């Protein structure tokens, strides 16, 4: 199933796509796509529901980020061998983990406003995972049972802030709007193999990134189990799993006002964001 949140920023409501691709309102059934409502068993229980009985929502409504009240927004660096090669960095022996501030999360079609002092804003299309069940020191074989679904993340990064000066990744990853999520939270039963998804990103219609999750160094189950050894993962936490080659950093080409970005992952829809 494909769940989403719609409405103005800070006032989003939960919704679901029906079989015709129309948005149906779920706010009469639960408050939001957060916490206990993200448990995979609960989400999958709606599979046989009568969607036609739910209120129909205007197609022109704003689509917000597909998850609410995220506590931890966790990124994985250099998780594609071909991306590591284009940056001139060695393939990591274990996952490189960093944080993005949850306050950077935005909708899949929202504008991305560059901070006034940004110099090297970059794009990164990624497969993101949404935790649906508390995970603490779990085994890899249990990991996907703790997942509610997948979505697209564009890990917008200000490379000067990330690598220059003290070189801290959190600084370069966390400005408002630097984490578009969605449009949908797609439940795990709809993604037969998360290691065989195509990723693509265009800037102003020009293809910049083309890749496949099959080139991941560390797969989704491994990443969830690995992270759970060091921290508790809570429902609503986001893990974004790294990006294929073609980022601006590799070509010394960065985002500027009025650029258009389109990011797609097979089975998860697409994002379209204008840079301001």
Q: Which residues of the chain have pLDDT under 50?
A: none
In a domain? residue 47: no
User: Under the phi-then-psi rule, with left for phi > 0, alpha for psi from -120 to 50, and beta for the rest, what region is 69?
Assistant: left
Q: What is the pLDDT of residue 254?
A: 97
The alpha carbon torsion through 152, 96, 233, 219 (nearest 10 deg) reads 60
Q: What backbone torsions phi and psi does residue 14 show, to the nearest 5 degrees?
A: -80, 145
In a domain? residue 44: no
Q: What is the pLDDT of residue 46?
A: 76
In a domain? residue 234: yes
In a domain? residue 35: no
Rounded to an integer, what distance in angstroms lies between the CA atom of residue 154 and that of residue 248? 13
How far from chain centre, in Å, is Cα 185?
Answer: 9
Q: How many domains does the chain have?
A: 1
The CATH number for 106's domain is 3.90.850.10
Q: What is the pLDDT of residue 213?
A: 96
Q: What is the pLDDT of residue 41?
A: 84
In a domain? residue 127: yes
Rounded to an integer, what distance in angstroms lies between the CA atom of residue 216 and that of residue 135? 22
Run of H or E residues at 128: strand 125-131
pLDDT in tens, 70-124: 999 999 998 998 877 777 778 889 999 999 999 999 999 999 999 999 999 999 9
Decide if 125 contacts 200 (C-beta within 8 A): yes
How far from chain centre, in Å, is Cα 111?
Answer: 16
Q: At 31, list the tokens.
A: 């408050």
pTM (2 decimals)? 0.96
Q: Which residues pair with 4 in a beta bridge?
A: 15
Q: What is the pLDDT of residue 57?
A: 96
In a domain? residue 27: no
In a domain? residue 98: yes
Range of the domain at 127: 68-274
In a domain? residue 60: no
């Amino acid at each position: 199933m494909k769940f989403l949140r719609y409405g103005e920023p800070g006032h989003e409501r939960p919704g679901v796509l029906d079989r015709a691709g129309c948005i149906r309102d779920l706010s009469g059934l639960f408050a939001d796509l957060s916490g206990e409502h993200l448990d995979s068993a609960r989400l999958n229980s709606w599979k046989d529901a009568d969607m036609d009985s739910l209120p129909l929502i205007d197609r022109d409504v704003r689509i917000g980020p597909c998850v609410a009240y995220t506590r931890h927004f966790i990124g994985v660096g250099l998780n594609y061998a071909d991306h590591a090669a284009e940056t001139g960095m060695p393939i990591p022996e274990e996952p490189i983990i960093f944080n993005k501030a949850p306050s950077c999360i935005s909708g899949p079609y929202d504008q991305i406003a560059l901070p006034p002092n940004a110099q090297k804003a970059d794009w990164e299309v990624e497969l993101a995972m949404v935790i649906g069940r508390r995970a603490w020191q779990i085994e890899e074989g249990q990991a996907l049972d703790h997942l509610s679904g997948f979505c697209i993340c564009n890990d917008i990064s200000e490379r000067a802030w990330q690598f220059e000066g003290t070189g801290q990744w959190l600084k370069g990853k966390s400005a408002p709007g630097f984490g578009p999520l969605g449009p949908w939270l797609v439940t795990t039963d709809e993604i037969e193999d998360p290691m065989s998804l195509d990723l693509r990103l265009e800037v102003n219609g020009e293809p910049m990134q083309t890749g496949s999750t099959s080139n991941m160094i560390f797969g989704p189950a491994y990443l969830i189990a690995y992270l759970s050894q060091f921290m508790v993962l809570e429902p609503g936490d986001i893990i974004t799993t790294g990006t294929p080659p073609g980022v601006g950093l590799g070509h010394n080409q960065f985002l500027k006002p009025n650029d258009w970005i389109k990011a797609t992952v097979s089975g998860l829809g697409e994002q379209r964001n204008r840079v301001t």
